[in-house]
Chain A
Amino acid sequence: MITHLRLELLKLVRSKGFYLSFAALSAFVMLMLWGFYSYAQKKTSGLANEQFKYTYESKTYFNGLTFTLYSLMFAFSLVIPIFVAMTAGGQIACERRAGTLRMICIRPVSRASIVVAKFLVVAIHTYLLLAFFIGLNLLVGLLFVGWGNLELYPGPLNLVDAPGRILRDEALWRFCYASFSGTWALLVVAAIAMLLSVIFRNPVTAVAATIAIYLMLYIVGRIEFFVDLRPFFFTTDMDFWRDVLKPEVPWPDLYHYVATCGAYIFGLMLTAVIIFERKDITT
């Protein structure tokens, strides 16, 4: 299992997609920096209405931590899941398409351990993506936007019901927690992609289907027509990762959604293993 994991890790770091994901996220951070910086300038400089010169009457609202929070919230919903789906969706289907799956399966390792090792590699990649993204945002925020406390207000980001504040050092820890909670939430997407990668022969189909499912439920979950269906979407449960960024972390909620996402992850992976073990590999 360890050897297999090591081999899969080698495959990952040698793939172009691995570096592409980090490059794309870096580009996203730059885009966010431009947007955030110009917005903050416009809203807080002489161009702004004198009466509302400072956002939330705070000179330090727009700082590196707020920048990181906004950047992470946007990227988590719309950008990072795409790269997770790309990595996970290609794991089995790519091997099949390249004709190497048959060779892997004739090695003296169980098919279950092949799937699990590949999934662990996806999990590592997901964590690296999130940790890199958070770290880069904090660094860029510190250098270009400035430092301060994390001020949270109801409304934008829909994170809190009442104004709150997390002190700088505590906020840094919260971002650290977010890298773990975010990874766990994203593993649901990864598990779906792994399952589809086992089912489909074409990796593009597996990745596209995963992204389609994710985006469909993500968008539908935000339309009031489907408010009664919302609790049954995995995208709703995935939202728990943001709870660690609230001034008071709602731990019971967090544990519940961690367990729910765990059920999705292990349930989907179990299904993937069962299908893979029964699959006739002819290529």
Chain B
Amino acid sequence: MLGTLFALSLVCAFVVKPASKYELKRESNSDVRSENANRLRLLTWNIGNGDLESETRAHTEDLPAVAKVILDNDADAVALQELTGNGQLKLLLQYLENRYSGYVCSSADGDRVEAVLVKKNSEREHADRLEAGATFSDVPAGDRFAAAATFRVQKDSPEVVLVSAHADAFSASRRRQFATDATNWVRSHTKSELTFIAGDFNFEVSTRNKNNLFTDHAKHDSESYAYLLKYFRDLGLDAGETSINDRRIDYVFGPMANVSLRRAEVLRSVAIGRMDHWPLLVEVAF
């Protein structure tokens, strides 16, 4: 009898396969939209380097490759993290053939800055955008800043706000303050219904991270993430890990309503140099 039960269990274990998490969710969120809907393609990427590098900020020699990824994916707006400063931004904009305008936030006391880029598609759209007035600003959050851009994809389309954010890598408490401040800033300073916060938040909220039973550290990240989800939708939820060691720490938070997700993908084939993050590309229709 035990032998029969053993064989039966073994057969069942092989026949009934656990569902692949990402496959299942991808099917459920592949919203179908008419081709006429406005499209917005956002890309977020921490272009800094791994801890083992002597320079953990973005390497200037990587910028041509970064520009190529942005151009190849035809992103409407880009949130970049861990640049060294305005010099790298200017160089990047040159590599982008001046098809983008950009901005880096204040560095506060830090040694690295976040950038936000907005595409200037064609001469006509370029003129439209200038007319519409793409604006950039600093977002004070915790003890650092994020970079925000306000723009329109087309002249008649609604205003879009994108915030490029990078939360503290080492302190969950500071991450919580940062996420709360960034969320509150967006809610109080923008009237747009199309608001996105993208960047490297360093949240450790994955179900695969079972190392802790319960810590304040985990609770802080959990509360930060929950606070963001109170007002936003995690558009890259099903795209998988965005960083080495199977971590999903780069996010694009978008509106709960008014947009439908067309695509959320981590571009793992475009790893450059010794970067420890992959770009996360999100496309929505609105």
Q: Do chains A and B interact in one complex?
A: yes
Binding site for B on A (CB under 8 A): 51-52, 55-57, 70, 73-74, 77, 112, 116, 153-163, 221-224, 227, 239, 250, 252-253, 255-260, 262-263, 265-267, 269-270, 273
B218 at the interface (CB under 8 A from A): yes
B225 at the interface (CB under 8 A from A): yes
* B221–chain A nearest beta-carbon distance, Å: 5
- Name the contact of B214 in the complex, choosing from A157, A162, A227 (C-beta under 8 A): A157
Contact A161 B180 (CB under 8 A): no
- If A153-B222, A223-B211 are given as contacts, then 17 extra A-B residue pairs at C-beta distance below 8 Å, sorted by A number, are A55-B219, A56-B222, A57-B230, A112-B2, A156-B212, A158-B209, A158-B212, A161-B205, A161-B207, A224-B245, A255-B12, A256-B12, A262-B12, A263-B10, A265-B9, A266-B5, A266-B9
**Nearest opposing residue in chain A for B12, CB measure:** A259
Contact B16 A259 (CB under 8 A): yes
**Nearest opposing residue in chain B for A36, CB measure:** B214
A221 to B208, CA, bound (A): 11
Interfacial chain A residues near B211, Cβ < 8 Å: 222-223
Contact B2 A116 (CB under 8 A): yes
Contact B223 A257 (CB under 8 A): no
Complex A-B, nearest 6 residue pairs according to Cβ-Cβ distance, in ascending order: A155-B222, A262-B9, A259-B12, A266-B6, A154-B205, A259-B13
Contact A70 B214 (CB under 8 A): yes
Instruction: Give 17 A-B contacts (CB < 8 Å), ordered by A residue.
Output: A51-B180, A56-B222, A56-B223, A154-B205, A154-B207, A157-B214, A227-B246, A239-B210, A252-B17, A252-B18, A255-B12, A256-B18, A263-B6, A266-B2, A266-B3, A267-B6, A273-B2
Q: How many residues of chain B get a CB closer than 8 Å to chain A's CBs?
A: 42
Contact B208 A158 (CB under 8 A): yes
**Nearest opposing residue in chain B for A264, CB measure:** B9
Interfacial chain A residues near B9, Cβ < 8 Å: 259-260, 262-263, 265-267
Contact A257 B18 (CB under 8 A): yes
Interfacial chain A residues near B234, Cβ < 8 Å: 162
Binding site for A on B (CB under 8 A): 2-3, 5-6, 8-10, 12-13, 16-19, 176, 180, 203-215, 218-219, 221-223, 225-227, 229-230, 234, 237, 245-246
Interfacial chain B residues near A51, Cβ < 8 Å: 180
Interfacial chain A residues near B222, Cβ < 8 Å: 56, 153-156
A109 to B16, CA, bound (A): 37
A196 to B207, CA, bound (A): 33
Interfacial chain A residues near B209, Cβ < 8 Å: 158
Contact B214 A156 (CB under 8 A): yes
**Nearest opposing residue in chain B for A250, CB measure:** B19
A4 to B55, CA, bound (A): 71
A112 to B1, CA, bound (A): 10
Interfacial chain B residues near A222, Cβ < 8 Å: 210-211
Contact A256 B219 (CB under 8 A): no
Interfacial chain A residues near B225, Cβ < 8 Å: 153-155
A273 to B3, CA, bound (A): 10
A227 to B247, CA, bound (A): 13
Most B-side CB within 10 Å, residue of A116, A158, A253: A158
A260 to B17, CA, bound (A): 10
* A220–chain B nearest beta-carbon distance, Å: 12
**Nearest opposing residue in chain A for B204, CB measure:** A155
* A141–chain B nearest beta-carbon distance, Å: 16
- Name the contact of B213 in the complex, choosing from A74, A223, A263, A265 (C-beta under 8 A): A74
A266 to B4, CA, bound (A): 9
- Name the contact of A155 in the complex, choosing from B3, B10, B13, B205 (C-beta under 8 A): B205
